Amino acid sequence: MQMDNYYKVDGWSVIEEGFDPKKQEASESIFSLGNGHMGQRANFEEKYSGESLQGTYIAGIYYPDKTRVGWWKNGYPEYFAKVPNAPSWIGIHVKAGTEELDLHTAKVSGFRRELNMKQGFL
């Protein structure tokens, strides 16, 4: 089974083979991890200067947004709640001499990402 002919599904795993910068923000969502206490978008540990939605979130921490929900109905909230980003704990800087690795500007010759939901790893 395949989703969008880009992501592959194999049993308990979602797999991305090859790197397409246009799909990076979607991949950050699809490959997200969480444990009920904390959630992490699948941002790269290495530098990535391309389009990205960095995100680390902690359950139960939010603030009310006083913008009224435009489609309010019985049983729905009157106001939105916003979830702030927690401090990012990921990030490594890989350098060869003075050149820093940036997955957005580097030529990527081989790439594979797998989210295994049975064993719980990315």
Average pLDDT over residues 78-84: 80
Residues 6+ apart with CB under 8 A from 76: 69
Domain count, the chain: 1
Q: What residues make up the domain containing 39?
A: 2-116
Looking at residue 72, which CATH number applies to its domain? 2.70.98.40
Residue 57 within any structural domain of the chain? yes
Tokens 């991305």, residue located: 16
Q: Given a cut of 70, is residue 1 above it in pLDDT?
A: no
In a domain, 25, yes or no: yes
Percentage of residues in the chain having pLDDT higher than 70: 89
* Res. 5 pLDDT band, cuts 50 70 90: confident
For residue 30, being part of any structural domain is answered with yes
pLDDT band at 2; cut points 50, 70, 90 = very low
Please check whether residue 121 lies inside any domain of the structure.
no
Mean pLDDT of 41-64: 92
Strands (DSSP E) along the chain, which ranges?
A: 2-3, 7-10, 13-17, 33-34, 38-40, 56-58, 63-68, 79-82, 95-96, 99-100, 112-116
Per-residue confidence (pLDDT) for residue 50, from 0 to 100: 94
Task: Give domain status of residue 14, yes or no.
Answer: yes
**Looking at the predicted structure, is the pLDDT value of residue 120 above 90?**
no
Residue 98 lies in a domain: yes
First-to-final CA distance of the chain: 20
The reply to whether 122 falls in a domain is no
